[in-house]
Amino acid sequence: MAWAKNGTPDTKSSSGDTDNTISDLTAKKFSVFLNHYIIATSGAILSARYSGDSGNNHAIRNNRNNGGDGTAGSQPQINDDVTSLTDQNDKFHVAYSCDIDGEEKLYMSWGISHGGAGDLVAPDRVEAVGKYNDGGSLSQITQFGRIRQVGTGTFDSGSNLSALGTD
């Protein structure tokens, strides 16, 4: 089982409110998504979306800094960044996905943002698990995106989404 680059990484060339998407994934049983987001304006909460599907086909369980779990079903995305809407810090997420043909897609994510300037301020940590069920075919995915859940925030240039995959 060897990991290899999967799809074309998406790096923002300018600041804006468009999402990062890899739309040329080769269907693989296991994927790793590496995400670095530079927040240009506050209000951008990161979420994951399978296959560009904005229907309510995602479910989520998440927490911030080991706080209580938040849960939600029938969602248009997997919200795996539960930091404050005013958080304008850089964010780094690592996510794993299990994508077996004919099965629901399982997702695990861990993220960090620096939490504020200085060595006296601890970083923020977020953890999430989720699943995706397209409501029928359950075929393997060939597109994965990181989206802004809240319409007011923007990503800065250099924000990146990359993927690795293996069978």
Q: Is residue 98 part of a domain?
A: yes
**β-pairing, 58-64 with 70-75?**
antiparallel
Longest CA–CA separation in the chain, Å = 50
* Exposed/middle/buried for residue 128 (C-beta within 10 Å: 0-12, 13-18, 19+): buried
Domain that holds residue 82: 45-154
pTM comes to 0.89
Q: Is residue 13 part of a domain?
A: no
Give per-residue pLDDT as tens, 61-79. Answer: 999 888 889 899 998 888 7
- pLDDT interval class at 37 (50, 70, 90): confident
What's the total number of domains in the chain? 1
pLDDT computed for residue 81 by the predictor: 73
Q: Is residue 6 part of a domain?
A: no
Q: Is residue 1 part of a domain?
A: no
**Count of CB atoms situated within 10 Å of the CB of 46:** 30
